[in-house]
């Protein structure tokens, strides 16, 4: 996608009507805030809220060698998936970095759904096609698909009246097709980017508005609210989830980014040899979480320093955690300082503020 | 949006309310707090200092962003609103009242004439 143009998501008019503050994100005009970042954050942590994340990309991979293609382009081992199961994975590039992180849905033995970041749709599509030496049929259904993330501990009770399918039976990182809000064959997965539990619901554009309203009607008793990308970011950061473009990108190795757990050397994949070398030899820097112990707020692109003020790394994500009411962040530091408890300093607008390397997640589920 | 008629405004979205003599209160406008979102920290280390008009006297941190605070007119910072230490969200809920940020002593009362009235400020923000 041309990053200079801003595309509309199908329900843009609904968000504007709800009074959302809209802003360009990953090439789309997106709702970033409705009632307020902190209120929306707590709504998802303690109740239930709905994100319209229809900007995300959905690629379908089909063919007798679909698994071989998925195995080649992704770092995790997709052969362990059976139909109905999902895994978090990443696509390494040929030069040591990451093309994108994604969810891999096993739809059938010969069919997979790849859910990718909105800002990477064009890049991923070109990359995957360039690696398709497996005669797979690839289909980009992103423009035709809306995605609502209904997140929070009350998600099951908020949505259950819309389907006969027992939502509570859907375990984390699995999905089902069910009749939902009167529509047949709706894809619902027990996934999300918040650590608060809940579902992601994939709907064709022409059903999206009806489903949106049905969700809000069904969830009214649970005080369901629309949630913007602002709270999505604070929620994911409290869990230590990477955001592509901030914490990982074309230049970061999955190993230094702490994604070794989704990098399986039991199979072959793009650039496997170099990444395995990262693993066995260790990387010079590592992505860590930190909590600011001095008063202030760390933000992306701030320098990470030692006590003398020498720059040793960079903050990749930083915010005030609404749950902890303290500033948290992530960033790359020299491997020697990557252990929990290591003291680092963040240059916050000219002031060196003390921070402590902390295990993620910052907030326990 | 609430843009009171009894205040003066700067293009940086600060308001100023002159009390008796050359003492005035300064805060950020309703428009500014709405754009920033939830304020979680106010950083002002300039109490006791004399600051030029439009110079930075501190910053406000919202959840998603940080913004410098610019003094609308030249003056000496005499007091920081102590309530903001525990309740920075007062800037969101009551930007012109309990959410005032600093009390200043004006150096040059005539500078007030260069600020906007509510009508001019409303048109600046397209309200």
Q: CA-to-CA distance for A287 and A59, rounded, in angstroms? A: 29
Question: Across the interface, which of A36, A296, A299 has its CB nearest the CB of B37?
Answer: A36
Phi, psi of A248 (to 5 degrees): -135, 150
Please give, rounded to a whole number of angstroms, the shortest distance from the CA of B18 to a CA of chain A: 30
Domains of chain B: 8-108 (2.40.50.100)
CB contact under 8 A, B63 and A319: yes
Note whether residue A33 is domain-resident. Answer: yes
Please compute the mean of the pLDDT values over residues A326-332 and round it to a whole number. Answer: 97
The domain tally of chain A equals 2
User: Is B40 within 8 Å of A33 when comparing Cβ atoms?
Assistant: no
CA angle A48–A53–A56, rounded 5-degree value: 145
Query: What's the ipTM?
Result: 0.90
What is the rounded CA–CA span in Å between residue A291 and residue A353?
A: 11
User: Across residues A17-43, what is the average pLDDT?
Assistant: 97
Q: Is residue A273 part of a domain?
A: yes
Closest CB to A297 among B37, B61, B92? B61
**Nearest one of B102, B91, B96, B100 to B41, comparing CA atoms:** B91
Whether residue B40 contacts residue A297, with contact meaning beta carbons closer than 8 Å, is answered with: yes
Q: Is A322 in Cβ contact with B63 (below 8 Å)?
A: yes
pLDDT tens-digit map of A127-181: 999 999 999 999 999 999 999 999 999 999 999 999 999 999 999 999 999 999 9
Among A246, A264, A283, residue at a domain's last position: A283
Q: Are A329 and A195 within one domain?
A: no
Given CA atoms A152, A156, A162, A163 in this order, what sign does their dihedral have? positive
A131 and A37, same structural domain? Answer: yes
Q: Which residue has the tokens 């600093």?
A: B102
Pairing of the two strands B102-106 and A285-292: unpaired
Separation of alpha carbons B36 and A193, rounded Å: 24
* Burial group, residue A91, by CB count within 10 angstroms (0-12, 13-18, 19+): buried
Say which of A37, A297, A325 has its CB closest to residue B37.
A37
| Disruptive mutation site among B35, B58, B61 for chain A (greatest number of A CBs within 10 Å) | B61
Please indicate, yes or no, whether residues A275 and A345 belong to a single structural domain of this protein.
no
Please indicate, yes or no, if residue A363 is contained in any of the structural domains: no
- In a shared domain, residues A237 and A342: no
Average model confidence (pLDDT) for chain A? 97
pLDDT, position B20? 84
Best to test chain A binding among B59, B64, B89 (most A CBs inside 10 Å):
B64
Closest chain B CA to residue A322? B63
**Average of pLDDT values for A312-320?**
98
Give backbone dihedrals phi and psi of A183, rounded to 5 degrees, phi first. -105, 140
What does DSSP assign to residue A142? G
* CATH number for the domain harbouring residue A309: 2.40.30.110
Q: Give the end of a domain, one of A267, A283, A299.
A: A283
Pairing of strands B56-62, B66-70: antiparallel
Residue A364 lies in a domain: no
Percent of chain B with pLDDT strictly greater than 90:
97
What DSSP assignment string belongs to A317-349?
A: EEEEETTTTEEEEEEEEEGGG-STT-EEEEEET
**What is the rounded average pLDDT for all residues in chain B?**
96
- Specify which residues A85 forms β-bridges with: A174
Single residue among A266, A283, A300 that ends a domain in this structure:
A283
Helices (H), A21-106: 37-46, 66-73
Band of pLDDT at residue A4, cut at 50, 70 and 90: low
Closest CA of chain A from B64, distance in Å: 7
Length of chain B: 127
Residue A365 in any domain: the answer is no
Nearest CA in chain B to A230: B64
Dump the DSSP string for A91-112: EE-TTSSEEEEEEEEEEETTEE
Chain B residues near residue A234 by CB distance under 8 angstroms: 63
Whole-angstrom distance, CA of residue B9 vs CA of residue A192 = 44
Give the C-alpha separation, A102 to A62, whole Å.
17
pLDDT tens by residue, A69-98: 999 999 999 999 999 999 999 999 999 999
| Mean per-residue pLDDT, A201-217 | 98
pLDDT above 80 (res A365): no
Same domain, A250 and A306: no
- Give, in order, the Cα–Cα distances in Å from A313 to each of A110, A320, A328, A332: 43, 20, 16, 5
- Taking the alpha carbons at both ends of chain A, their separation in whole angstroms is 36
Shared domain check, A335 and A207: no
> Does residue A1 carry a pLDDT above 60?
no
Tokens representing A226 are 């629309």
In a domain, A275, yes or no: yes
Residue B127, min C-alpha distance to chain A (Å): 15
Tokens 């112990």 correspond to: A293
Regarding whether A335 and A234 lie in a shared domain, the answer is no
**pLDDT tops 90 at residue B99:** yes
CA distance A96 to chain B (A): 31
pLDDT tens-digit readout, B39-95: 999 999 999 999 999 999 999 999 999 999 999 999 999 999 999 999 999 999 999
In a domain, A101, yes or no: yes
Residues B75, B81, B86, B90, CA torsion sign: negative
- What whole-number distance in Å separates Cα of residue A244 and Cα of residue A26? 11
Exposed/middle/buried for A221, CB within 10 Å: 0-12, 13-18, 19+? exposed
Asked whether A168 and A91 are in contact (CB, 8 A), the reply is: no
- A207 and A169 in a single domain? The answer is yes
Q: Domain residues for A73?
A: 1-283
């Amino acid at each position: 996608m041309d990053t200079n143009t801003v595309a509309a998501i199908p329900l843009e008019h609904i968000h504007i009507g709800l009074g959302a503050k809209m802003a360009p994100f990953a090439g789309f005009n997106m709702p970033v805030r409705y009632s307020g970042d902190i209120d929306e954050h707590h709504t998802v942590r303690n109740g239930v809220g709905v994100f319209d994340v229809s900007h995300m990309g959905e690629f379908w991979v089909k063919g007798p060698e679909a698994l071989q293609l998925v195995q080649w382009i992704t770092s995790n081992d997709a052969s362990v998936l059976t139909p109905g199961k999902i895994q978090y994975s990443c696509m390494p590039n040929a030069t040591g970095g990451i093309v994108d992180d994604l969810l891999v849905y096993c739809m059938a033995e010969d069919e997979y759904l790849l859910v990718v970041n909105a800002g990477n749709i064009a890049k991923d599509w070109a990359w995957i096609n360039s690696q398709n030496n497996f005669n797979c049929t690839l289909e980009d259904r992103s423009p035709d698909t809306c995605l609502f993330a209904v997140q929070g501990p009350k998600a099951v009770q908020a949505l259950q009246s819309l389907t006969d399918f027992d939502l509570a039976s859907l375990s984390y990182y699995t999905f089902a097709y069910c009749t939902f809000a009167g529509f047949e064959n709706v894809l619902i997965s027990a996934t999300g980017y918040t650590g608060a539990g809940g579902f992601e619901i994939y709907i064709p554009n022409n059903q999206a508005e009806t489903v949106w309203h049905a969700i809000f009607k069904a969830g009214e008793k649970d005080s369901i609210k629309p949630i913007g990308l602002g709270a999505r970011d604070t929620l994911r950061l409290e869990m230590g989830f990477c955001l592509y473009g901030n914490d990982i990108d074309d230049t970061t190795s999955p190993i230094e980014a702490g994604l070794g757990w989704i990098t399986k050397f039991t199979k072959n994949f793009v650039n496997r040899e170099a990444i395995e070398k990262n693993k066995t030899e260790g990387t010079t820097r590592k992505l860590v979480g930190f909590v600011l112990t001095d008063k202030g707020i760390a933000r992306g692109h701030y320098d990470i320093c030692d006590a003398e003020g020498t720059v040793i790394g960079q903050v990749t994500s930083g915010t005030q955690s609404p749950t902890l009411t303290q500033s948290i962040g992530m960033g790359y530091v020299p491997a020697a300082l990557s252990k929990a408890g290591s003291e680092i300093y963040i240059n916050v607008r000219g002031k060196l503020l003390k921070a402590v390397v902390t295990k993620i997640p910052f907030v326990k589920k | 949006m609430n843009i009171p008629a009894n205040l003066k405004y700067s293009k940086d979205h600060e308001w100023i309310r002159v009390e008796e003599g050359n003492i005035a209160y300064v805060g950020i406008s309703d428009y500014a707090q709405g754009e920033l979102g939830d304020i979680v920290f106010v950083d002002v280390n300039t109490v006791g200092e004399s600051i030029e008009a439009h110079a930075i006297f501190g910053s406000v941190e919202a959840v998603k962003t940080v913004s410098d605070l610019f003094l609308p007119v030249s003056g000496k910072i005499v007091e920081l609103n102590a309530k903001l230490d525990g309740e920075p969200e007062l800037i969101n809920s009551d930007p012109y009242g309990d959410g005032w940020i600093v009390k200043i002593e004006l150096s040059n009362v005539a500078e007030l004439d260069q600020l906007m009235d509510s009508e001019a400020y409303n048109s600046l923000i397209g309200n």
